[in-house]
Structure 1
Amino acid sequence: MTALEEVTSGEQLRRVFGCFPSGVTALCALVDGVPVGMAASSFTSVSVAPPLVSVCIQNSSSTWPKLRHRARLGLSVLAESQDQACLRLSAKEGDRFAGVRWEASADASVFVHDASAWLDCSLHAEVPAGDHTIALLEIHALWAAPDTPPLIFHGSRFRRLAAL
């Protein structure tokens, strides 16, 4: 067995965390009639009853304070062809929705077109977790395209699933 290293840096942790693949989501809503959103790869299912998912958000996020008080939030599971949309939605500056096809629900959730799945959510709870906040989201409505492969993030780059 290779010797374990003591945790000494964030860079070291990010390198190890990058060994685990994750899907990529877009969390979006209309704010004053304008789409606001962010990309998040720290998404996971939590509970069936009640229906909950979680997203981990950096405490330094300038987008989460704009989204957290919305009545509804649209969560889109990005498809493998949406790497450019993901990059736009993660940008620190500029129009994050430039070139991203989207639509809004009657409740102001925003969903990215051609995604693998859509979840219409509301904030259920927030849990402080170090330099992040875990946002627990309650699912109210959903849609899925199971044959549309998701975008995968692994080793600090986008990847595609391969059938075995």
Structure 2
Amino acid sequence: MSASAIPQTVISRALRRTLGVFPTGVTVVTALGTDGHAFGVTVNSFASVSLDPPLVLWSQAKSSPSHDEFSRAGTMVINILSENQRDVSTRFAHPHPDKFEGVARSAAPCGTPVLMGCAATLVCRVVNHYDGGDHTIHLCEIESFEDHCRHPLIFCKGAYAELASA
């Protein structure tokens, strides 16, 4: 059977499984809406782009309920989750009436929520948004950051994983 005869849904699932063998960290990106309400989403499509200037990117499905809000946000906090924050990852990955309820947090100087207990946090200014097929790529400049010296939460092959001791 030729590749063109394979249904796109089968190809998409197979590609997702294939890409899933690459371990990633897990982040929760937070921002404030124009009305001041906080929102956030779990993301593992996060990458460093440049050290000078300090740029990072993350991508978000255009079908995500918070997509339009993130596309309007001027600042964001990228919370790199620690290995003991699986519950936080799960909470922000699924619809929930108040994702922040019961989640320990503080606020960045811009007011955006900073989740407590993370491995690291990056306070960012949005530089641009780019079309990436069924996703939007958010390019952000890091304005401040903090390494909290905790082991990161890892995701691989559709499940959480832990780093082996070094």
TM-score of the superposed pair, with normalisation by structure 1: 0.90
Amino acid of the residue matched to residue 135 of structure 2?
Answer: H
Query: Which region of structure 1 is more displaced relative to structure 2, 90-99 or 127-136?
Result: 90-99
8 Å Cα contact 1:76-1:118 kept in structure 2: yes
Distance in 2 (CA, whole Å) between partners of 1:67 and 1:132 is 12
What percentage of residue pairs aligned between the two structures are identical? 32
Residue 68 (structure 1) aligns with: 71
Give the CA deviation at 1:163. Answer: 1.8
Residue 156 (structure 2) aligns with: 154
What are the superposed Cα offsets for residues 75-108 of structure 1, whole Å, 9 maximum, x if unpaired?
1000000000010011123221122111112312
What are the superposed Cα offsets for residues 19-51 of structure 1, whole Å, 9 maximum, x if unpaired?
011001111023333321011000010001111
Residue 54 (structure 1) aligns with: 57
Distance in 1 (CA, whole Å) between partners of 2:39 and 2:106 is 12
Residue 29 (structure 1) aligns with: 31
Match of 1:68, SS? Answer: helix
Instruction: Give the structure with the larger helix fraction.
Output: 2
Residue 78 (structure 1) aligns with: 81
Structure 1 segment 4-153 matched on structure 2, within 5 A = 6=3, 8=6, 9-31=11-33, 32-146=35-149, 148-153=150-155
Aligned residues: 159
Q: Which ranges of structure 1 fall in alignment gaps of 5 or more residues? A: none
Q: Which ranges of structure 2 fall in alignment gaps of 5 or more residues? A: none
Q: How large is the Cα RMSD of the aligned pairs? A: 1.7
8 Å Cα contact 1:57-1:132 kept in structure 2: yes
Distance in 2 (CA, whole Å) between partners of 1:59 and 1:69 is 13
